Amino acid sequence: MPLTTQATPTTYWLEHAWLGTHVEPGVAVDTADGRITAVRTGADTPPPGATALRGLTLPGLANAHSHAFHRALRGTVQVGSGTFWTWREVMYSVADRLTPDTYYALARAVYAEMALAGITCVGEFHYLHHAPGGTRYDDPNAMGEALVSAAEDAGIRITLLDTAYLSAGFGAPPDAHQLRFSDGTAERWAERADALKERAHARIGAAIHSVRAVPAGQLGTVADWARERQAPLHVHLSEQTAENDACRDAHGCTPTRLLADHGALGRRTTAVHATHLTTEDIELLGDSNTGVCMCPTTERDLADGIGPAARVQDRGSPLSLGSDSHAVIDLLEEARAMELDERLRTRTRGHWTAAALLRAATADGHAALGWDDAGTLEAGALADLTTIALDSVRTAGPLPRLAAETAVFAGSAADVRHTVVAGRQIVRDGAHTLVPDVPTALAESIAAVRG
């Protein structure tokens, strides 16, 4: 059943609802045709026929940066030490073994795990386009279509951020692993991406893998493609200092300046990580209203560093959150980590309120993915909801009016009890309604691509 189709209009009674600025007890939310049609406060008890969601209900969470196949690395890359670059070699070994069928199975399981974590929309940064060696499948978008189908069958929305990845680094040809990522030129990438079609649950965006992976003279082609379609454009930016150093050697400027000079910044652009920025970089991002997606659990897992999230937001960049490599899939942990990492760096507390962190995980995350009509509990918005238990060992005790603070600073994905997408309950009482055994689906799909 398409996500925008509801068998019948449904009313959900929210024991406690986060309405953007505060927690409101007793809220009835009417839904029809996949959207919220009314939000009624002062409902002390569930209206007749309503589905009760007990706990704190938020708008659905948006995971703005995902590489679904990286989920197969969990645990494996925690053995021993190393850097981002040694981690990357293990990642390549998994990528080499994926086919459209095995990628579908893995992504379906990963997206089901996301639904269990309260995520209702994912931004999939997709660059695994072709067969090993770079041979095109009969359908050149077979791998992307596998991801779109996987999201639908897991019950969540997706923005497929089809990624241009053309070079091993500043003009060097792709290495053996990267041949499956490359279309050869940005023009050929655009021709292939043109064939992708949006669906009720799926929107199509673009991505520049990084300034090292797309030659400078072709950055504008990708940016123009996104601009002409008013589509999201994402880019890995300054994740490691080595990228900054190589960009200066090749072009005499930082990656942010290079993107700005080729028209790739702007309000539809999201820079992912943005860990190692200069003051000028921060000004370029903020003054152009370019968003920044922070992925704290991956950035700490790979020892990349702590990005200047507070500074970029203060300058004008909206923040979103992503689980990236899926060391964990927990948007509450991403939100908490952004604040706590900033505390460690500055040795002061309170850089973001719980409300601000929830906005990054909901409305601003959806906006970064091109779903401006999602991420709020108000009439007209998409009927995507996430309910967090307030009676678990992590969340029990605080007053209900502090439920947002409790969720962000003590709750976890394990506390998600219900997930509603387009008015349909995808997770009920902690169980996925479309994928009956998510742990087994994960174990089997990962075993199929493990070396």
List the catalytic residues: 273, 324
Decide: helix, strand or coil at residue 122. strand
- Check if the beta carbon of residue 143 is closer than 8 Å to that of residue 84: no
- Any residues with CB less than 8 A from the CB of 315 and at least 6 apart, and which? 282, 283, 285, 286, 287
Distance CA 91, CA 326 (A): 12
> What burial class does residue 192 get, using C-beta atoms within 10 Å of its C-beta: 0-12 exposed, 13-18 middle, 19+ buried?
middle
Task: Give strand pairing partners of 35.
Answer: 32, 382
Angle at 206 between CA 154 and CA 384, to 5 degrees: 35
Exposure string for 119-139, b = 16+ CB within 10 A, e = fewer: bbbbbbbbbbbbeeebeeeee
Nearest to 107, CA basis, from 158, 180, 42: 158
| Residue 138: both structure tokens together | 């009969």
Among residues 332, 382, 384, which one has the least CA distance to residue 358?
Answer: 332
Strands (E), 167-290: 202-208, 233-237, 269-273
Residue 136 to residue 94: CA distance in whole angstroms = 19
CA–CA dist 293, 274 (Å, integer): 8
Q: How far apart are CA 294 and CA 322, in angstroms?
A: 6
CB 279 within 8 A of CB 312: no
Helices (H), 30-173: 84-95, 100-116, 142-154
